[in-house]
Amino acid sequence: MSETPMPLWEVFIRSHSGLPHKHCGSVHAADASMALQAARDVYTRRGESISIWVVPSNLITASDPADKDQLFEPTGSKPYRHPTFYAVPDEVGHM
């Protein structure tokens, strides 16, 4: 009996309006609706979420860890790019 493996989907959930969706794991599912349901059942059992995104894993382009130095190191020594001298007032909430 041959079995076509089901595609893998990456799951992102948002816990509050205004916050970004965060990656929380992956599910196997045959198609997008089933992936959404699987994500709801597997990753939102404890009230973690008000919104779910599922993306086929093979559509994600990821940076190569070997390129870490060339992509990310230059920014480490440029404090003038960081907005650390401005305090966001509490009333603004999640930005």
Partner 1 sequence: MSAALFSYVLGLADDTLVLGHRLSEWSGLGPTLEEDIALSNLALDLIGQARLCYSYAGEIEGQGRDEDALAYLRDEHAYLNLLLVEQPNGDFAATMVRHLLFAAFQAPYLEAVSVCAEPRLAEIAAKAAKEMAYHVRHAAEWVIRLADGTEESHARTRIALEELWMYTGEMFAMDAPVRALVAQGLAADREKIKPAWDASIDRILAQATLQRPQDRWMPLGGRQGRHTEHLGHLLAEMQVLHRAHPGAKW
> According to the binding rule CB under 8 A, does residue 34 interact with partner 1?
yes
Output the smallest distance, CB 45 to partner 1, in A.
Answer: 7
Q: Is the distance from CB of 10 to CB of 62 less than 8 angstroms?
A: no
Give the pair of three-digit tokens for residue 86.
């401005």
Interacting residue with partner 1 among 8, 42, 60, 88 (CB under 8 A): 42
> According to the binding rule CB under 8 A, does residue 37 interact with partner 1?
yes
Q: Which of residues 12-31 bind partner 1 (CB under 8 A)?
A: 27-30
Alpha helices in the chain (DSSP H): 32-43, 68-76
Number of residues that bind partner 1 (CB under 8 A): 13
Q: What is the rounded CA–CA span in Å between residue 32 and residue 36?
A: 6
Give the pair of three-digit tokens for residue 28.
């196997």
Q: What is the rounded CA–CA span in Å between residue 53 and residue 45?
A: 16
> According to the binding rule CB under 8 A, does residue 51 interact with partner 1?
no
Output the smallest distance, CB 35 to partner 1, in A.
Answer: 9
Residues engaged in binding partner 1 (CB under 8 A): 6, 27-30, 33-34, 37-38, 40-42, 45
